[in-house]
Amino acid sequence: MTSVDIEGLLNRVEKPARYTGGEYNSVYKDKREVEVRFAFAFPDLYEIAMSHLGLRILYYLLNQRKDTWCERVFAPWTDMEKLMRENGIPLFALESRDAVSEFDFLGFTLQYEMGYSNVVNMLSLAGIPILANEREEGHPFVIGGGPCAYNAEPLADIFDFFVLGEGEEVLTPILDTYIEWKKRGGTRREYLERVALIEGVYVPSLYNVRYNEDGTIKSVLPVSDRFPERINKVIIKDLDKVFFPDRIIVPFTEIVHDRVMLEIFRGCTRGCRFCQAGMVYRPVREKSPEVLADQAERLIKNTGYEEVSLASLSTSDYTHLEPLVKQLIAAHGEKGVGLSLPSLRIDNFSLDLIREIQKVRKTGLTFAPEAGTQRLRDVINKGVTEEDLMTSVGAAFSAGYNNLKLYFMVGLPTETVEDIDGIADLAFKVADRYYATDREKRGRGLKVTVSTSCFVPKPFTPFQWQPQDTIESFRDKQDRLKKRLKHRAITYNWHQPETSYLEAVFARGDRRLTRVLIRAWELGCRFDGWKEHFDFAKWQKAFADCGIDPDFYATRPRSYDEVLPWDHVNVGVSREFLKRENERAVKARTTPYCREGCINCGITELFGGGICDAGYQNRVY
């Protein structure tokens, strides 16, 4: 193993603590006593990477194995990258400072498309061939997981394989097979052919893609009938019994989510039609409050953190939320440990709950109506009304909150000018509600922040066939809102449409985009999720150089009979369900949420009945 010496570099970079390792609870092992060196990679900056819950879980899960040492590696910021390249220092793991090129696995978690150029850059810094078919014996297996792995076709030529779904259990056969294969001294291809038979593993090099003349896909088929035609995702059936770490790394430097994240459930009972997470993380599986209270206790004790956040896709939908919150506050509130509840829904926001939390610490509140009119909220099946919002903000203002954030999307399917104006109207109504609140009760100085993101149609959602709005149209809508949201208490934030456009291209991209990605990286693209680094002109040049029209991926409507690049992946929700939902959407017809009745999304067909905690046996469709 080649260890790097970075002492001379650390005094010359911003926040050297990003690169030192050695944080409290980080894991150190004797490298001579392990068989597998695993580098868990997150293609972004330390502060972002360390906030990721999946990393926190899998790091300790892998390190539970005596034969494996899992370390971390993140994208060095541009100042560090420059010094590393100047001094010939390869990408290294934080714990051992060994070059990751000599590891057995380099496992990326793929959370968002805008991190793809960093994946390429990290491979280049590591000295690992960027294309999978150029790697030889002795190179690590480059593997990927996370939500973007469900349609990882734009990265298919770069990765050796992907893990689809929840990694906790499937990593065991992947590593066991590896150790056995390594001892036998097999070829890379042999290992890939063996892991391809493990449920949840997708080896893209074992699948051939053929195209039609119009550029759409004709077929995606395995090279041999030994491999499955469709690759199923894997899930953990009982979250109470699955591994959850009782400690997490406590970074020296402040990170984005610098707190204990307690995962209360997976999946989502709601059926928001734009939301990929709500579809791909199904079914709903809750943890019991007893297990959660125990995990919280141990995590607080072992980290010293002063805040616990209840993590899920929709925290207020957790069945036992109120007793859990009361119990956690009773147990830890006096010791100054605060509780935060992100992802509260507008319609079941409980003032009592907020008062409980407020006893300890007061944080700002965020609501996400997502769309400005009832019609459009029905299109996306958000299922909340203006009345819900007004009741909730009224309660929040009366409880003394004066800092609210409102999230919306622009460019949703069927959107019109009225829907855009509806966003501004709603923001003003919220402000009016504040001024109508009793002066004695309300906090002083109202601050409403309205943020709009640009809608990106995602695979495995009912809107996967829908075109994205054009950059020009996004900009017109943002300009309209800028004019209409002029109020001393309202701040308006908007997303760069170019970023969302590129996200849309890669989200629904196919294998032909690998060339574009590598070309963009050659032109200097990296940290595309960061405003100060994103350079759209370079991306445009990359598309032109490769002769690929990005509009084909972003703004083109698809027909139902088109073969989509991700059709050979099965996340559980059926194509029929998604199609039905898309059709109901354009007619602005809502669909009940899962606790009101099973809407037959298909997930129970994949995993058998009884798996979904939303649990209703009565099918409404």
Partner 1 sequence: MPVIRIEFTKEGNAKYISHLDLIRAIQRAVRRAGVPVEYSKGFNPHSKIAYGPALAVGISSSAEYLDMSLESPVEETGLVERLNSSLPAGIRVTAAKYLPDGAPSLNAVIGAAAYRITGRPAVWTQGLEQKLRDFFEKESIFIERTDKKGRKKQVDIKPMIAEIQKVLVTDGGVLLDVVLDTGSRSNLKPTDLVEALERDTDIQFQDVCIHRKGLFVKRGGRYFSPLELMN
428 is written with which tokens?
């003003």
Q: How far separated are the first and last CA of the chain, in Å rounded?
A: 58
Query: Is 250 among the residues that bind partner 1 (CB under 8 A)?
Result: yes
- Tell which one of 254, 438, 472, 561 touches partner 1 (CB under 8 A): 254
List Cβ neighbours of 569 (8 Å cut-off, separation of 6 or more).
Answer: 150, 151, 164, 202, 230, 231, 233
Distance CA 551, CA 510 (A): 13
Spatial contact of 557 and 152, defined as CB atoms under 8 Å apart: no
CB nearer to partner 1: pick between 385 and 398:
398
Restricted to residues 289-318, the positions that interact with partner 1 (CB under 8 A) are 300-306
Distance CA 605, CA 244 (A): 27
Please state the closest distance from residue 473 (CB atom) to partner 1, in A: 44
CB nearer to partner 1: pick between 304 and 323:
304
Query: Is 340 among the residues that bind partner 1 (CB under 8 A)?
Result: no
Spatial contact of 409 and 274, defined as CB atoms under 8 Å apart: yes
Query: Is 362 among the residues that bind partner 1 (CB under 8 A)?
Result: yes
Restricted to residues 582-621, the positions that interact with partner 1 (CB under 8 A) are none
CB nearer to partner 1: pick between 51 and 555:
51
Beta bridge partners of 452: 408, 494
Please state the closest distance from residue 350 (CB atom) to partner 1, in A: 20
Query: Is 574 among the residues that bind partner 1 (CB under 8 A)?
Result: no
- Tell which one of 215, 323, 336, 610 touches partner 1 (CB under 8 A): 336
CB nearer to partner 1: pick between 4 and 163:
4
Distance CA 113, CA 163 (A): 17
Query: Is 541 among the residues that bind partner 1 (CB under 8 A)?
Result: no
Question: Strands, E, within 117-234: which ranges?
Answer: 141-145, 161-163, 201-202, 207-211, 217-222, 231-232
SS3 content of the chain, % helix, strand, coil (to 5): 40, 15, 45
CB nearer to partner 1: pick between 14 and 440:
14
Q: With contacts defined by CB under 8 A, how many residues of the chain interact with partner 1?
A: 25
Please state the closest distance from residue 304 (CB atom) to partner 1, in A: 3
Restricted to residues 1-30, the positions that interact with partner 1 (CB under 8 A) are 8, 10-11, 16-17, 20-24
Please state the closest distance from residue 7 (CB atom) to partner 1, in A: 8
Query: Is 441 among the residues that bind partner 1 (CB under 8 A)?
Result: no
- Tell which one of 32, 183, 184, 335 touches partner 1 (CB under 8 A): 335
CB nearer to partner 1: pick between 16 and 467:
16
Q: Residue 393 carries which side chain, given as an amino acid letter?
A: V
Stretch that binds partner 1, among 187-195, 245-253, 462-470, 535-543 (CB under 8 A): 245-253
Q: Could you tell me the CA-to-CA distances from 497 to 410, 452, 503, 534 in Å, in that order?
A: 10, 11, 10, 12
Q: Is the bond leading into 283 cis (omega within 30 degrees of zero)?
A: yes
Q: Which helix (H) or strand (E) holds 316?
A: none
CB nearer to partner 1: pick between 335 and 488:
335
Query: Is 172 among the residues that bind partner 1 (CB under 8 A)?
Result: no
CB nearer to partner 1: pick between 23 and 596:
23
List Cβ neighbours of 168 (8 Å cut-off, separation of 6 or more).
Answer: 57, 58, 61, 236, 242, 243
Beta pairing, strands 265-266 & 285-286: antiparallel
Restricted to residues 65-84, the positions that interact with partner 1 (CB under 8 A) are none
Please state the closest distance from residue 259 (CB atom) to partner 1, in A: 11
Distance CA 484, CA 88 (A): 53
Please state the closest distance from residue 303 (CB atom) to partner 1, in A: 7
CB nearer to partner 1: pick between 261 and 280:
261
Please state the closest distance from residue 437 (CB atom) to partner 1, in A: 20
Please state the closest distance from residue 305 (CB atom) to partner 1, in A: 7
List Cβ neighbours of 487 (8 Å cut-off, separation of 6 or more).
Answer: 427, 428, 431, 448
Q: Which residues bind partner 1 (CB under 8 A)?
A: 8, 10-11, 16-17, 20-24, 250, 252-254, 300-306, 335-336, 361-362
